[in-house]
Each structure stands twice: as C-alpha cells, then as structure tokens.
Amino acid sequence: MDEVSGSILIVDDEAKYRRLIRTNLVMAGYAVREAADGHQALQWIYQEEPDVVLLDLRLPDMDGFTLCERIRKMSTVPVMVLTALNSEADTIQALDMGADDYLAKPFSPGEMLARIRALLRRSRDLLQAEGAACGDIKLLKDTREIESSNGRVRLTPIEWRLCQELTTHCGKVLTHEYLLSRVWGEEYLAEHEYLRVYIRRLRSHIEPDPHRPVYLVSHAGVGYCLYPKPHGK
C-alpha cells in the first residue's frame, strides 16, 4: 500500500469503539486523536485541524447532526459519519448538515480505510486543483471558493470536485453515473442520494432561488447541466 499520512479525529462516546477504530487506523499509519463528545471534538478541530473526522451521531452533549453542522461552519475538513442509525432519512440529514460520507455500523475495517483514503485523496487533489468558469460562475483556485451573483462561498473538497466537473463541461449534460464515478468513485455508482444532496448544496451557493434553479438544471432520468446563462426562462 502507498505510504499513508494524515491525522484522524475519532468522535464517539463509546470507548470500545474508539479503541477498535484507533487500532485499525494506527496499524494503517495514521496519527489519531479522540473525542468523547461534541465539545471536545470542536476544541480539537479548532486547535489542530485533522485531515478527516470520523463522527458518531449519538453523543452525550449534542447530536451528531448538530455537531456536523457546527464543524462545517468553521472548517472544510472531510467528515465521515459512522453510526448505527441506518435509515435513508438519517443519511440525507447527515449529508445535508455537511457530512462527506456515511458508513453504517457494523462495518469492516477495510471498507472504513478505503473510504478514508478516498476522502484524503479528494482533499489532496483540491490542493492541485485549477480554477474554472461557466458564465459568471467561477471557481477560484487560490481561495477554494465559488463566486457567483450570490457572492463567494468556500467549498468542501467534494463540493469543489463536483463543481469543477460541471464548470469544466459548461453547458453539457453530465449523467448521474458520470458524476458519481468522477467525484466519489466507481464504488459509489448506486449512491444517487449523495449526488442529489450535493447538487442541492451547490444550488444554495449559486442560484437566485435554489427551489427554481436556472443555472444548475436537472435533466430528468439523465443527469445535470450547469449553464452559463439562465436556462428555461
């Protein structure tokens, strides 16, 4: 395996799960920090931003959805939710609050490590990413922001990767499968909900009215297209 580097913050109130996850991460070559509640997690992220946060949704001082939202307000660090809550509604809510990935307990260490590597790869790709533009919608590589008539917003690695695909292919319809494979990877081709949630987040950044999109437009049953000018008016 390639040399591994990176720091991981485990946020879980159950010590046995933290020990189990920590053991696998340390064996894989990661530096590991632990937090037993949301306030400890926020302190670690503020003091020493990790490369990935592994977040359990059931915490004693605040629920994981709230914590994820607070993390996203202060950082673009990739967040992967690890939880026994495994309904579609929970998945959507976690992604809406800013999570980058979702893994239901019980899970295999191999799958967890593979997803962490994918998150780290996207973050590191962002450092070499080039800017792009589609009409007045611009990706600013120096600040990792998207600029539109709504102003500027700093993007997470997944938001940037998705927007880069859309702006690079400005005016072209990109299929669901193409976007899932390019942004998340071939193993995510069935995760259409991930794409829907992130499209909704991008619309909140760039659309005059996110509920009536005119730039980032759905093509039913096919995919999405980012247009340089308002479309469909």
pLDDT in tens, 115-136: 999 899 888 876 666 788 999 9
Could you identify the residue written with the tokens 């990767």? 161
**Beta-sheet strand order (sheet of 137-140):** 132-134, 137-140, 145-148, 151-154
Percent of the chain, pLDDT > 70? 95
Report whether pLDDT(2) > 70. no
Report whether pLDDT(162) > 50. yes
Q: Is the dihedral of CA 223, 226, 232, 233 positive or negative?
A: positive
The interaxial angle of helices 109-127 and 157-168, nearest 10 deg, is 60
Q: What is the mean pLDDT of residues 204-216?
A: 96
Report whether pLDDT(1) > 50. no
Q: What is the CA radius of gyration of the chain?
A: 18
Per-residue pLDDT, 27: 94
Round to whole Å and give the CA distance between 54 and 112. 10
Using CB atoms within 10 Å of the CB of residue 141, give its burial: 0 to 12 exposed, 13 to 18 middle, 19+ buried. Answer: middle
Per-residue pLDDT, 233: 58
Report whether pLDDT(108) > 70. yes
**Cα 77–80–85 angle (5° rounding)?**
145
Report whether pLDDT(17) > 50. yes
Q: What is the mean pLDDT of residues 177-181?
A: 95
* Among 176, 207, 208, CA closest to 216: 207
pLDDT confidence bin for 4, thresholds 50/70/90: low
pLDDT confidence bin for 106, thresholds 50/70/90: confident
Tens-place pLDDT, residues 54-103: 999 888 898 888 999 999 988 889 999 988 877 788 888 889 988 999 99
Domains contained in the chain, CATH given: 7-127 (3.40.50.2300), 132-226 (1.10.10.10)
